[in-house]
Structure 1
Amino acid sequence: MSGERRGPLAAALRLGLRLASGPYALGVRTRNALFARGWKTVHRATVPVVSVGNLTLGGTGKTPCVEWVARFFRERGVQVTILSRGYGSSTGRNDEALVLEENLPDVPHLQGADRVALAATAVEELEAELLVLDDGFQHRRLHRDLDLVLIDATRPPERDFVFPRGTLREPAGGLRRAGAVLLTRCDQVPAAELDRLRDWLGRRVPNVPVASTEHRPIDLVGGDGDTEPLELLRGQTVAAFCGIGNPGAFRHTLESLGATVAEFRTFPDHHAYTAEDVRALTHWATTLPDGAIIATTQKDWVKLRVPELGGRRLRAVRIGLHFRDGEDAVSEVLERVLTSDTA
């Protein structure tokens, strides 16, 4: 899918995947058309709904954006509830929900397959005044007043393919439904690449605001919940692990903080850590050089909740969304939601 593997076999497999992308794309277009023409029912909540989603499979950094949007409305006195599908958890509470609950203790978070039903519960039982739909761009059953679409600048859609040949959940034409586009991880690509992506978006969706953002580390969270400054990692040897959609981005973050990443272990996205995993990580920690710091992401930390591994303190990097440009334009479209007919 990434195109990194070379050779006749890899090329043949990519051709097969490309052929399979056609029926998949047709099915997605047909489904979207049914919703657009009213042949499939779209349910409208009695309060405004803001969706945060993307075009691709894998991580684009939605969780910090969901947190930023929810905080935006909470700072304006709006009672917010977050709704999400809950991918990666059989119990309905996945890593993203745990991170959001940790960082937004005054914002309820409901997870489940039927987000129409969740919306009704949020309004009727939690007295929600606005709903934030996490990963909702392709969830067409629930009407939204605004779609915020995230694009990972390190994985531009103009060079991607529709699943299964690539990571696009739907053709790029779906961007026409977006109310604003947020480019994420803009600090990880050259300026020329970013300009090319903006030009491409300008041709695709000329009237849609586009903002550039990056995910900036805020602080370190210890296994006991205490926070420490990021400077702790500067000049230090770090052994890290994570189970997220874009592990390379986490490694880049550690290196940007001045750490030397000596070892780096990855798990599948939304990995549910088992007792065996903890034992393996504990053994791994005992083999590390003296003085090495063990680091992970907050998404992994909220599932592990262990203060140390192999006698070494475990630290998680907490990430927040930072706008490089376009924040005013995004704030304006969010403010408009509060004055819409639904509100």
Structure 2
Amino acid sequence: MSWGNPQTSREKLLYGLISPLSLGYGIGSYFRLAAYSKGYMKRVRLPVPVISIGNITCGGTGKTPMAIDITRRLIAAGYKVAVLSRGYARKSKEKITVVSNGQGEFALCEEAGDEPLLIALSVPEAIVIVGSSRAETAAIAIEEYKADAIVLDDGFQHIRLERDLDVVLVDYNDDPENDMLLPAGRLREPLSALNRARVVVITKVPAHPDNERLEKLRAQIRNHAERAEIAEARFVPKRLRTNNGAAPLEQLKGQRVVAFCGVARPEGFAATLNQLGCTVVHLKSFSDHHWYTPDELKMLEKLMRESNASAVVTTEKDMVKIAPHDRLNQHLISVEIGVEWLGPLPSHISEMMKGKLESELKRGKQDSDSATSPGGESTKDDGSAGKSGSRKKKHKPK
């Protein structure tokens, strides 16, 4: 069954039975948003720029690779970035966990959650914090770690925290006009919620897209988000990761492999493996954010041996959950995914980066001008005061 698009008589019957629940879900969403817009529920404004990466459907649009891409770009522009995530499906009951302090110290996957840890490992210079209250985690990021930019991972529905830029992802393969709200469909909010977005990115655009389909999707977005900038992107394999480090994509070509994943849309992973030219003899799909048991890992290793496969291949998100000492790890390969923008970077993002670069250049010139007095004598001290003043309190991941 395509979630929200029933095909068989049984699926249509089930769809009809749970559709009234979608109405209740929609009413609840409306009143929640109205409470914030009318001021009955207070929003929090941060003293630093905030970018939210989100969607209006349940999973699978590519929020994590997009958050990684934008975080890297902001860091390259000079920002000290903190990524805030809810840490969905993590095992820890801690209210707040510092996944990465931006200095190479990382929390365990059970404490962090798979996606936050993947972001932390992919961008080790970023501060990554998980917790249900983004306002609280933002305060830690700014006050303790001196972050000067915040990226909200899956933050579109987190209305309480105000943001300067809402980036919303829409899957090229979706037909949102014919979908329904949860639980009958995949929509987390009505399509009218897109009017809050400043940038809408159509993701997973294939190499040879159906132009009619693409234009129809653009029109649907414009119908609900008149002021939004519409961009397009696809996710492409960049390299492989093994227990011994990085490896070229060509290593998988012609190989027989066993594959597994616990993601929202496993068909995308299957298509990537096909693109890499390997023969998938078995593909095991698990639920999104699945935590693998020892028996499941043994089963995968057994499948590899019995099918005469050369490796077990999985996603980056799944690989972070496999302990380094597990036997499966010596045969395990993950595929690193990156963002390929189909056209210029959205202007709202590039302008934010440009503004920071210009600010840093201006500050550097001012520092240079003030370093020497009119008489030519340096006004700098021996550096000891600067070293003392630059010490920061370390908040190690738990």
In the alignment, which residue of structure 2 is the partner of 1:206?
Answer: 226
Displacement of 1:114 in angstroms is 1.3
1:267/1:32 CA distance change after superposition, 3 Å: same
Does residue 1:124 correspond to 2:143, yes or no? yes
Equivalent of 1:240 in 259, 262, 271: 259
Q: How does 1:165-244 map to 2 (within 5 A)?
A: 165-187=184-206, 190-224=210-244, 226-244=245-263
Q: How does 1:1-343 map to 2 (within 5 A)?
A: 1-7=3-9, 9-91=10-92, 92-187=111-206, 190-224=210-244, 226-289=245-308, 291-306=309-324, 313-332=331-350, 334-335=352-353
8 Å CA contact 1:48–1:338 kept in 2: the answer is no
Displacement of 1:3 in angstroms is 3.2
Alpha-carbon separation, structure 1, partners of 2:5 and 2:175: 14
Question: Normalising by structure 1, what TM-score?
Answer: 0.92
8 Å CA contact 2:300–2:312 kept in 1: the answer is no
Matched residue of 1:214: which SS? strand
Query: Which deviations, in whole Å up to 9, do the C-alpha atoms of 1:185-223 show, x marking residues without a partner?
Result: 111753322221012112222321111101111100002
Displacement of 1:276 in angstroms is 2.5
Alpha-carbon separation, structure 2, partners of 1:113 and 1:269: 19
Q: Which has the larger radius of gyration?
A: 2
Matched residue of 2:144: which SS? helix
In the alignment, which residue of structure 1 is the partner of 2:374?
Answer: none
What runs of 5+ residues in structure 2 fail to find an aligned partner?
Answer: 93-110, 358-398
Alpha-carbon separation, structure 2, partners of 1:20 and 1:311: 43
Alpha-carbon separation, structure 2, partners of 1:13 and 1:298: 34
Query: Which deviations, in whole Å up to 9, do the C-alpha atoms of 1:78-97 show, x marking residues without a partner?
Result: 10000000001122411111
1:222/1:70 CA distance change after superposition, 3 Å: same
Alpha-carbon separation, structure 2, partners of 1:334 and 1:151: 22
| Matched pairs, number | 336
Matched residue of 1:77: which SS? coil
8 Å CA contact 1:281–1:309 kept in 2: the answer is no
8 Å CA contact 2:322–2:329 kept in 1: the answer is no
* Stretch moving more, 104-113 or 182-191: 182-191
8 Å CA contact 1:137–1:147 kept in 2: the answer is yes
Alpha-carbon separation, structure 1, partners of 2:326 and 2:272: 22
1:87/1:199 CA distance change after superposition, 3 Å: same
Displacement of 1:25 in angstroms is 0.5
1:336/1:172 CA distance change after superposition, 3 Å: farther
Alpha-carbon separation, structure 1, partners of 2:348 and 2:334: 29
Matched residue of 2:15: which SS? helix
1:330/1:158 CA distance change after superposition, 3 Å: farther
8 Å CA contact 2:61–2:169 kept in 1: the answer is yes
8 Å CA contact 2:50–2:165 kept in 1: the answer is yes
One-letter code aligned to 1:105: P
Alpha-carbon separation, structure 1, partners of 2:213 and 2:323: 39
1:37/1:252 CA distance change after superposition, 3 Å: same
One-letter code aligned to 1:230: L
8 Å CA contact 1:145–1:337 kept in 2: the answer is no
One-letter code aligned to 2:345: E
Displacement of 1:47 in angstroms is 1.2
Alpha-carbon separation, structure 1, partners of 2:157 and 2:113: 19
* Stretch moving more, 20-29 or 299-308: 299-308
8 Å CA contact 2:258–2:303 kept in 1: the answer is no
Alignment root-mean-square deviation, CA: 2.0
Alpha-carbon separation, structure 1, partners of 2:211 and 2:73: 28
Identical counterparts, % of pairs: 34
Displacement of 1:26 in angstroms is 1.0
8 Å CA contact 1:222–1:307 kept in 2: the answer is no
Displacement of 1:69 in angstroms is 1.1
One-letter code aligned to 1:162: L
Alpha-carbon separation, structure 2, partners of 1:179 and 1:53: 12
Matched residue of 2:219: which SS? helix
Alpha-carbon separation, structure 1, partners of 2:59 and 2:328: 31
Matched residue of 1:206: which SS? coil
Alpha-carbon separation, structure 2, partners of 1:333 and 1:25: 35
Query: Which deviations, in whole Å up to 9, do the C-alpha atoms of 1:242-299 show, x marking residues without a partner?
Result: 001111101111111222222100111011122222222222222222x443210011
1:24/1:151 CA distance change after superposition, 3 Å: same
Query: Which deviations, in whole Å up to 9, do the C-alpha atoms of 1:304-325 show, x marking residues without a partner?
Result: 0447856962110000111012
